[in-house]
Amino acid sequence: MTIRLLLADDHAMVRKGLQVFLATQPDITLVGEAANGREALELSAALQPDIILMDLNMPVLNGMETTKQLKLTQPDVKVIVLTSFSDQDHVLPAIRAGARGYLLKDIEPEELVNAIRRVYQGQVELHPEAAGQLMNMLATTDSQASLPELTPAGLPDASIKASSSPSESSLLQGLTRREQEVLGLIARGMSNKEIGSTLHITEKTVKTHVSHLLDKLGLVDRTQAALYAVRQGLGE
């Protein structure tokens, strides 16, 4: 498996840094670089990447509009937003535009490549702060009218509901007290490191709890877990 990746960022130093690091990854091939959204569209059509790592603030055509156009013209290309913005005005529009991932530029390099691999495999990747923005929006939504707009980003329809079913509530009872605590902190947008610090346990132990609770709830990733937790009233 080789993941074909296109970089879209108007800062040459950012592109160079990513280029150097990605060159060390045997399963990721950097097929091209774009300095603006228009170039990204043209190169994507010519090079057929699997994933585009997309900055939002670019000249000519910004990352948000570029993502929207890619969704229409090249729906098989998966977009991961890599940006410095974590506010609601950027996170939610990017997800609605079709982004399959939303990451911040302070992400650790190893976490970035793992996120790229997971998105390639069909998962959705959200930075904890971005997930927190999504959770806040869902928690304060009075109806389901606007929620289906999120599904183009790959969030399962079944996971975006305003209320929980009795069967969902019974699944929650199957979690240990510690697993419920971890789930509540995931809903608040905390990373594994932050959860470990809050609960005074190691990050490795947090990862174990996350793995166990995902398995018990029948969920595939942290995003689904956070959505589930919000429906259960956790993380408030």
Res. 206 pLDDT band, cuts 50 70 90 = very high
More confident residue, 26 or 141: 26
Question: Is pLDDT above 50 for 234?
Answer: yes
- Do 180 and 111 belong to one domain? no
pLDDT of residue 89: 72
- Do 112 and 165 belong to one domain? no
Instruction: Kindly state the average pLDDT of the residues 21-31.
Output: 93
- Asked if residue 133 belongs to a domain, the reply is no
- Asked if residue 142 belongs to a domain, the reply is no
Question: Is pLDDT above 50 for 142?
Answer: no
- Do 14 and 122 belong to one domain? yes
Predicted TM-score of the model (pTM): 0.63
Q: Using CA atoms, how far apart are residues 223 and 70, in angstroms rounded to an integer? A: 23
- Asked if residue 146 belongs to a domain, the reply is no
Overall size of the chain counted in residues: 236
What DSSP string runs through 90-156? HHHHHHHHT-SEEEETTS-HHHHHHHHHHHHTT--EE-HHHHHHHHHHHHT-SSSTTGGGGGGGT--
Q: Using CA atoms, how far apart are residues 56 and 83, in angstroms rounded to an integer? A: 6
- Do 101 and 26 belong to one domain? yes
CATH number, domain containing residue 13: 3.40.50.2300
- Do 188 and 111 belong to one domain? no
Res. 157 pLDDT band, cuts 50 70 90 = very low
pLDDT tens per residue across span 34-76:
999 999 999 999 999 999 999 999 999 999 999 999 988 999 9
- Asked if residue 135 belongs to a domain, the reply is no
Q: What percent of the chain has pLDDT over 70?
A: 82
- Do 57 and 112 belong to one domain? yes
What DSSP string runs through 28-70? EEEEEEESSHHHHHHHHHHH--SEEEE-SS-SSS-HHHHHHHH
Range of the domain at 164: 152-231
